[in-house]
Amino acid sequence: MGHGWEGVVLKLMRGRDFTFTVTGAEQVTEDFRRVHLTDGGLLAATKGAHPTMWVRLWFEQAGKPHQRAYTLVDPDPAAGTFSLEFALHDGTASDWARTVEPGATIEATLQGTGFDLPEPAPARLFLIGDAASLPAINSVLDAVPDAAATIWFETAHASDKELPFRLDPARHTLHHLERRDAGAHLVAEVKAALPDLLGGDTSDAYVWIACDTVTTRALGAYVRKELKVPRNRVNALGYWLP
């Protein structure tokens, strides 16, 4: 399958193509599925993986190429393996994840991923996301294991409360918030709590936001402009369109 005009653009931007092979899958909840893959040489080519590292998978939709981005879960450079996690809904990517069998292959492009922690390393994490960004949230927790963390997690399904977080009960606090009013409820709850939690000194904090694009834009602007958190201590990236 060709990648169409998007593939041409990614090539011009030095995107690198790989082919992954499925080795298995597991149903984490009724609305969330994990697929295990070999990496087609990706981790050797990149000399390992960084937190929140993501790739673009290529699917066919109505006869046309269609790409979606997914975060690597538990990448193992020595074995050349990782997993991908899918928040299941109606759509081509979810349909693929529901039915894919071991031995199936899928094409992928690596382009645009990156991650830099500020210096000094954060002692406090404030993470805001949903099921689509859960793999990235867990990778940030893994990357800064000694930091205290407060997590606001928006849930679209009752089963989202069963999703596996890599929490240290002594350091991490998780708040589940039902998705209401197209994300406005999450925005209001974070705005009500975050100023007091941050305090006046944000030099040891890191705020990471990855929700739908509208919610992410609203919270990112609030944290930077109203709470005055330095830009190098805020990462806000919309993961999906509402």
Same domain, 140 and 230: yes
Beta bridge partners of 230: none
Same domain, 168 and 206: yes
Number of domains in the chain: 2
The reply to whether 181 falls in a domain is: yes
Same domain, 128 and 228: yes
Residue that finishes a domain, picked among 51, 80, 110: 110
pLDDT value of residue 161 = 97
- CATH number, position 73: 2.40.30.10
The reply to whether 13 falls in a domain is: yes
pLDDT value of residue 7 = 60
Average pLDDT over residues 153-162: 97
pLDDT value of residue 241 = 85
Residue 172 is part of which domain span? 124-236
Tens digit of each residue's pLDDT (9 = 90 or more) over 71-119:
999 999 999 999 999 999 999 999 999 999 999 999 999 987 888 889 8
Residue 14 has pLDDT above 90, yes or no: no
pLDDT value of residue 218 = 98
pTM attached to this predicted model = 0.93
The reply to whether 228 falls in a domain is: yes
The reply to whether 241 falls in a domain is: no
The reply to whether 116 falls in a domain is: no
Tens digit of each residue's pLDDT (9 = 90 or more) over 199-234:
989 999 999 999 999 999 999 999 999 999 999 999
